Amino acid sequence: MDSEIWTEKYRPSTFDEIVGQDDIIKRVKSLTNAMNIPHLLFAGPAGVGKSTLALVVVKELFGAGWKDNYLELNASDERGIEVIRQKVKDFARTKSISKIPFKVIFLDEADALTNEAQNALRRTMENYTNNCRFILSCNYSSKIIDPIQSRCAVFRFRLLEKKDIDKIVRKIAHSENIQIDGKSIDIVFEISEGDCRRVINLLQTTASISNNITSDLIGVMAPSARPGDIRIILDYALSGDFLNSREKLLEIMLRESISGSDIVKAFQKEIWNLPVEPELKVKLTERTGEIEFRLVEGADEFIQLEALLASFVMAGRGK
């Protein structure tokens, strides 16, 4: 089954089915039940339920006829001013064909809109409030201009907690007749980092091989740096053995096909378990951030990771 279809299969249809974000769900549900929502801005990381909540709001408002009163645009694909002036404006100026006096326009990834498009959107939101409500979704609310934010009720989403991921995984496992133990669920949560979409896609890929999902199978389908391996690398470096540390790093990167960015993140997590002074942990964390920035800018992965290992060697020597 296609991953998008599989994800859609488990998209909640009502407020009670949504997992996580309890405070936000409660407030949005109250607004929806009043049948008169304001413009809404959902901000937060990917895969935590922003698009799902927007769809649930629309379905609760319009019932079976929700598709006739709803327009969804992905602003990362259609981000220019012409889209706002044509598609959005044309839809916003027409009246709703239901008992609800307004339509709903959902702009996904609205932080990808250009400044010109956002200014045009501001005027459209202002002029057609009687006919239309906007729901904007973004990863970074700071990229949305202040005039739009001031016109919206802003809700800030968090990454899903372990208990939320556990509930989602067990629901899917029961529905699809999949066997998965608690240890494997813990690994799924660590890999997903609270992203529900990533959880569902990981379950699909592993379930396509076997209905008995184990930690080893997850490791094959979603390679990640094991904390034990990372600790070995850092122990070598802190003891001053740069060559063995470098060889172990190369072995893990080649064996597990792990990217430099993932290795850096694993280093950052393991730093706080090292037997060194807190001040040194802070400096190593700062150095890790600098290396991560260089990787994002396109620097060579292995050279930068070697430089990071050199920093750990120097830290082990008290320098």
The predicted-structure confidence for 214-252, as pLDDT tens digits, reads as follows 877 887 777 666 777 888 888 888 888 899 989 888 888
Give SS3 for 78. Answer: coil
Residue 3 lies in a domain: no
CATH number of the domain where residue 170 is located: 1.10.8.60
182, part of any domain: yes
CATH number for the domain including 62?
A: 3.40.50.300
Q: In the listed set 109, 136, 156, which residue is the last one of a domain according to the structure?
A: 156
Same-domain check for residues 38 and 97: yes
Domain that holds residue 174: 162-221
Same domain for 147 and 268, yes or no, is: no
Last residue in a domain, options 123, 138, 156: 156
Query: Based on the domain organization, do 192 and 273 belong to the same domain?
Result: no
Q: Are residues 89 and 150 in the same domain?
A: yes
**According to the model, what pLDDT value does residue 78 have?**
64
State which of 221, 239, 254 marks the end of a domain.
Answer: 221
Number of domains in the chain: 3
Q: What is the pTM of this model?
A: 0.76
Q: What is the pLDDT of residues 87-145, one digit of tens each?
A: 778 888 888 877 888 889 898 888 888 888 888 888 888 888 888 899 999 998 889 99
Q: What's the pLDDT at 269?
A: 84
- Report the CATH number at residue 312: 1.20.272.10
Residue 273 and residue 186 in one domain = no
If asked whether residues 28 and 150 sit together in one domain, one would say yes
Name the β-bridge partners of 71: 105
Q: Is 107 exposed, middle or buried (0-12, 13-18, 19+ CB in 10 A)?
A: buried
Residue 145 is predicted with a pLDDT of 92
| Count of other CB atoms within 10 angstroms of residue 218 | 23
Residues 189 and 302 in one domain: no
| d(C-alpha 275, C-alpha 277), whole Å | 7
pLDDT tens readout for residues 260-312: 888 888 888 888 888 778 888 888 888 899 999 998 888 888 899 999 999 88
